Amino acid sequence: MRAFDYIRAGSCKDALAEAETPGTAFIAGGTNLLDLMKHEVMTPARLVDISRLDLRGITLTDAGLRIGAMVSNSDLAADPLVRRHWPLLSRALLAGASGQLRNKATTGGNLLQRTRCYYFYDTAMQCNKREPGSGCAAIGGFNRIHAILGASDACIATHPSDMAVALRALSAEVELLAAGGGRRQVPLAAFYRLPGDTPHVETVLEPGEMIAAVLLPPAEGGRQIYRKVRDRASYAFALVSVAACLRMETGRIAAAALAFGGLAHMPWRSAELEGALIGEAPSPALFDHAADLLLAEAKGQGDNDFKIPLARRTLAAVLAEATAEEGARA
């Protein structure tokens, strides 16, 4: 690990002022950043410790739920309000990492965790995300975990977070703070960026900006499901995941929000797919049509071709479960 200066922030204001110095990174749980620093994939010259900041609250407001950026993944998953009204979020968190990691991992850090692309981690290999302009070793290399949607010639990495997929389906927003008192709110839909020709720029976060909170709109009724497909039953990242919020009315789909993990550089949502479900009665043909809309532009890279049929099947399984009549549910 490269040497760095360590600064413990006493307040958000302090942290933001410290972050104005170039080469500074925030550290929260440290479970992703320290891993990458040990590999020298990330080499910040200064670390500002924000783990003790007073951003640990989970509060219900008229606008929905406000989740402080320092709330741990464990506390969020176990929160009574979240369990009751946003079970999708609990389920996605519990499907990720391990008990030990969830105790440390924070809401803000989870959103900003970097890709698990093997070449990103290996400083001997070409990677445009780690070293802009160096090339992408995953294209034409081992790419089993890589993207089938929204990728570019510069980068085919996926975003690894389970939590972010649930938050995308729940239409969450992110509250950002900047030095000098700036505060803005960005929908998660606009927070992440596709790789394009700048895969090292992953979000709209400006240098020095800090995530203060995640905001959830009031929960809509209906069923919430998180389905994660991975190489082993626990403690593994998603190959494909589906987060669904779906409401039925008299045998027809009245509302549907679906987000997908493992497919792209960010949690993926398709307005076309959701639009095609509304007002329809569930049927295998409808689910197949939905998958056609989701995967129309899907492109495999060789090793990850299997994700195309896997996404289709996982979507169908989730839709079948979400639309099943109460008594018929397994």
Partner 1 sequence: MHVTLTINDTKHHLELDPRVTLLDAIRHHAGLTGTKKGCDHGQCGACTVMVNGRRINSCLSLAVMHDGDAITTIEGLGTPEALSPLQAAFIETDGFQCGYCTPGQICSATAMLEEIRAGWPSHVSETLDGPALPTEAEIAERMSGNLCRCSAYPNIIAAIRLAAAEREDAA
Only segment of 9-17, 97-105, 260-268, 300-308 that touches partner 1 (CB under 8 A): 97-105
Number of residues in contact with ligand SF4 under rule CB under 6 A: 14
CA distance 157 to 117: 6
Is the CB of residue 226 less than 8 Å from the CB of residue 42? Answer: no
**What's the closest the beta carbon of residue 11 comes to ligand SF4, in angstroms?**
35
> Which is nearer to partner 1, 101 or 178 (by Cβ)?
101
Residue 99 binds what, of ligand FAD, partner 1, ligand SF4, none (CB under 5 to 8 Å, by partner type)?
partner 1
Only segment of 72-80, 85-93, 155-163, 300-308 that touches ligand SF4 (CB under 6 A): 155-163
Nearest to 52 by CA among 104, 106, 11, 110: 11
Number of residues in contact with partner 1 under rule CB under 8 A: 35
Among 19, 41, 67, 97, binds partner 1 (CB under 8 A): 97
Among 83, 116, 289, 299, binds partner 1 (CB under 8 A): 83
Burial class for 100, CB neighbours closer than 10 Å (0-12, 13-18, 19+): exposed
Closest residue to ligand FAD using C-beta atoms: 109
CA distance 173 to 188: 5
Q: Tell me, what amino acid is at 118?
A: Y
156 binds ligand SF4 (CB under 6 A): yes
C-alpha of 282 from chain center: 28
DSSP state of 193: -
238 binds partner 1 (CB under 8 A): no
Residue 4 binds what, of ligand SF4, ligand FAD, partner 1, none (CB under 5 to 8 Å, by partner type)?
partner 1
Is the CB of residue 154 less than 8 Å from the CB of residue 136? Answer: yes
The 8 Å CB, 24+ separation contacts for 276-280 are 277/253, 277/319, 278/253, 278/254, 279/252, 279/253, 279/254, 280/252, 280/253
CA distance 67 to 71: 7
291 binds ligand SF4 (CB under 6 A): no
Contacts to ligand SF4 by CB under 6 A: 115, 117, 119-120, 127-129, 136-138, 155-157, 199
Contacts to partner 1 by CB under 8 A: 1, 3-6, 8, 27, 30-31, 34-35, 38, 47, 49, 51, 74, 77-78, 83-84, 87, 90-91, 94-95, 97-101, 103-104, 233-235
